[in-house]
């Protein structure tokens, strides 16, 4: 294993840590119930017990980054419990026997506070983080399973990934992952390599033929998701911290271009997400804080992008200077307000984006670069989990809502809501397949979270509710490559993958797993199967 890192960068990081530690330590307040006596020195406690794994600047190392943007919605009490009790099946030890309640409370407050100086992560940091693992050569898979019918299963309970044979439902490999994978893995067009992105900004490249990790790189401090170009040559990483869109070589994981996120007037922004638009040979990125959508070309012959007035667009006669052209040309599309996630129509001509107010979606024509319609969608639509299919001769999109028990069915010909399906509660994921008549919809955001609702695509009615494990959350369905079986996750530390016959809806088998949050079929992903996310 080779890690690239320079001593000046390490010295700078140590100096920055001292400044951050001093600034943040004063803000750490012991929680109720902490022991009396002198206020614990949180910075010293962190340096002694945490820095070796989580980094001197809290940016992460062997363990995840300990910054508010990386810890999500965890409260100081949640963080304190983790410090006291450790994390099962990980290298995070329990400190309840070595630290008193006051020390633990001070540490929890310390890591829960933002640093006085916003951490930076530049190209030099990305290059220095790159790790290349020894990889065996192979001309074919080392197993006899169908390489296109594998499932990649993310087990959040102990931060592992399982590679599952989609015909026999047996595990071919299981290995530790980076902390808090997010946004779904991405596969090369031939299905051989898969890329994982973590909240901590790490991107890992895994060879599904040899069942080995090939390389890793850290593209940011807090990353939302990754996308792979249609030709499999480039990876895009969407970052909250720093606010950048990072492009890397999919072969080597070396950075090739970094875009500082912001609008045309230089107002800075975070990047909410980035998606592949294969029919357009481009990436589409959502900016969190400014009303712009970006399209970045992945075609070396991409047309020039003009940002000013153009008198004549006739080929060879354009009377203007292009801002960019060819590979990685950036095109800005202004919208009425920031949009958080997207769904695309067939052909990637239109983008349906959830507006910030949560009550509507914007329809953006990507060819002309402007909003052409709005769709009323109260209840925080989750368009990133939408699916498309044909209903009564019309091409429609189905999308769940995060705060209301409903699924909106939208006609893409005129962007009207043709049906609202009432469900048992707000859900997060929808899944289907071109060879099944059903949509599988969870209700994991509400009280009926243990039910998986089966919706007939012909009638748009709920025809059955399955409960894989009564009282435990059921979520995230995925089909095998032929649509014969549907796999449902039981989101629990002692969870399982439950395999159903997709035609009879009867359980076939179940595999014990540690909170399997998502599973992804190679064939469905690389062929953009109808009813799966991309």
**Could you read off the pLDDT of 229-283 as tens digits, one per residue?**
999 999 999 999 999 999 999 999 999 999 999 999 999 999 999 999 999 999 9
Q: What is the pLDDT of residue 2?
A: 38
**Could you read off the pLDDT of 131-187 as tens digits, one per residue?**
999 988 999 999 999 999 999 999 999 999 999 999 999 999 999 999 889 889 999
pLDDT band at 534, cuts 50/70/90?
low
Least confident of 65-69, 164-168, 208-212, 378-382: 65-69
Q: How far is CA 395 from CA 398, 409, 412, 426, in A?
A: 10, 10, 6, 24
Q: What is the pLDDT of residue 87?
A: 76
Copy the structure tokens of residue 351. Answer: 């983008």
Annotate 492-519 with DSSP letters as a single string.
Answer: STTEEEEEEETTT--EEEEEEES-EEEE
Q: What is the pLDDT of residue 90?
A: 65
Question: What is the rounded average pLDDT for all residues in the chain?
Answer: 88
Backbone angles phi, psi at 236, to 5 degrees: -115, 135
Least confident of 302-306, 374-378, 406-410, 520-524: 302-306
Q: What is the pLDDT of residue 320?
A: 55
Share of the chain above pLDDT 90, in %: 67
**Could you read off the pLDDT of 183-199 as tens digits, one per residue?**
899 999 999 999 999 99
C-alpha to C-alpha distance for 152 and 308, rounded to whole angstroms: 46
**Could you read off the pLDDT of 12-57 as tens digits, one per residue?**
443 444 334 433 333 334 444 444 567 888 888 888 899 878 877 7
**Could you read off the pLDDT of 93-118 as tens digits, one per residue?**
889 988 999 988 988 888 888 877 77
Q: What is the pLDDT of residue 341?
A: 83
What's the predicted TM-score (pTM) here?
Answer: 0.84
* Residue 304 DSSP class: P
pLDDT band at 66, cuts 50/70/90?
confident
Asked whether the predicted pLDDT for residue 306 surpasses 80, the reply is no
Question: 453: number of CA atoms within 13 Å, CB side?
Answer: 26
């Amino acid at each position: 294993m080779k890690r690239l890192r320079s001593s000046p960068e390490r010295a700078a990081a140590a100096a920055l840590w001292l400044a951050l530690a001093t600034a943040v330590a004063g803000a750490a307040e012991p929680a109720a119930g902490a022991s009396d006596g002198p206020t614990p020195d949180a910075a010293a406690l962190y340096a002694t017990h945490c820095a070796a794994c989580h980094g001197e600047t809290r940016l992460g190392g062997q363990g995840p980054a300990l910054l508010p943007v990386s810890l999500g919605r965890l409260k100081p009490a949640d963080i304190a419990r983790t410090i006291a009790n450790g994390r099962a099946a990980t290298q995070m030890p329990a400190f309840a026997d070595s630290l008193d309640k006051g020390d633990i409370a001070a540490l929890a407050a310390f890591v829960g506070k933002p640093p006085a100086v916003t951490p930076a992560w530049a190209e030099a940091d990305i290059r220095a983080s790159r790790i290349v693992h020894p990889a065996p050569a192979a001309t074919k898979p080392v197993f006899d399973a169908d390489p296109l019918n594998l499932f990649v299963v993310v087990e959040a309970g102990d931060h592992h990934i399982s590679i599952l044979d989609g015909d026999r439902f047996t595990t071919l490999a299981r290995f530790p992952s980076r902390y808090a994978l997010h946004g779904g893995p991405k596969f090369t067009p031939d299905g051989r390599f898969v890329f994982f992105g973590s909240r901590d900004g790490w991107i890992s490249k895994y060879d599904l033929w040899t069942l080995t990790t090939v390389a890793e790189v850290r593209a940011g401090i807090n990353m939302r998701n990754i996308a792979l170009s249609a030709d499999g040559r480039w990876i895009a990483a969407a970052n909250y911290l720093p606010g950048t869109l990072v492009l890397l070589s999919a072969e080597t994981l070396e950075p090739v271009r970094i875009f500082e996120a912001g609008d045309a007037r230089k107002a800075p922004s975070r990047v909410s997400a980035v998606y592949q638009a294969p029919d357009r040979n481009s990436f589409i990125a959502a900016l969190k804080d400014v009303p712009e959508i970006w399209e970045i070309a992945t075609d070396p012959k991409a047309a020039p992008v003009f940002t000013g007035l153009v008198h004549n667009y006739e080929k060879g006669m354009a009377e203007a200077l292009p801002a960019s052209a060819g590979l990685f040309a950036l095109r800005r599309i202004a919208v009425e307000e920031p949009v958080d996630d997207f769904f695309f129509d067939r052909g990637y001509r239109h983008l349906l984006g959830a507006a910030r107010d949560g009550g509507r979606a914007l329809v953006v024509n990507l060819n002309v670069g402007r909003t052409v319609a709005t769709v009323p969608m109260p209840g925080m639509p989750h368009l990133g989990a939408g699916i498309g299919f044909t209903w009564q001769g019309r091409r429609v999109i189905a999308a769940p809502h995060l705060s209301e028990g409903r699924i909106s069915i939208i006609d893409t010909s005129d962007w009207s809501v043709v049906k609202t399906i009432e469900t048992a509660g707000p859900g997060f994921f929808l899944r289907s397949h071109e060879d099944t008549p059903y949509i599988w919809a969870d209700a994991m955001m509400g009280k009926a979270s243990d039910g998986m609702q089966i919706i007939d695509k012909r009638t748009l009615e709920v025809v059955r509710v399955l409960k894989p494990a009564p009282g435990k959350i059921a979520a995230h369905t995925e089909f095998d490559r032929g649509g014969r079986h549907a796999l449902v996750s039981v989101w629990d530390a002692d969870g399982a993958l439950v395999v159903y016959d997709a035609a009879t809806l009867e359980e076939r088998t179940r595999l014990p797993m540690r909170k399997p949050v998502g599973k992804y079929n190679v064939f469905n992903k690389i062929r953009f199967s109808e009813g799966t996310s991309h």
